[in-house]
């Protein structure tokens, strides 16, 4: 995630949002100082640090995610 932010020229890691379905990915995003949105089961991803959790990508809008973060 850090390399991607660097390649995109994003210095403010808190401006990054990671969509992830694995506990390890959620933890990596949080460790990197980024927002973490879980895709999957809330009971698994919330304790790992996901700020929001959706069952899948269907119906998610950037405006909704941005507002909730």
Q: Which residues of the chain have pLDDT under 50?
A: none
Sequence-separated (6 or more) residues with CB below 8 Å from residue 45: 20, 21, 23, 26, 38, 39, 53
Number of H helices and E strands in the chain, helices first, is: 4, 3
Closest CA to 6 of 32, 36, 26, 24: 32
Note the Cα 48 to chain centre separation in Å. Answer: 11
Query: What is the reported pLDDT for 17?
Result: 96
What's the distance, CA 49 to chain centroid? 9
């Amino acid at each position: 995630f850090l390399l991607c932010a660097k390649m995109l020229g994003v210095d403010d890691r808190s401006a990054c949002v990671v969509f992830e379905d694995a506990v390890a990915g959620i933890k990596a995003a949080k460790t990197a100082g980024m927002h973490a949105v879980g895709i999957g089961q809330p009971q698994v991803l919330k304790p790992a640090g996901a700020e929001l959790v959706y069952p899948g990508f269907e119906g998610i809008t950037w405006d909704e995610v941005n507002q909730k973060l």
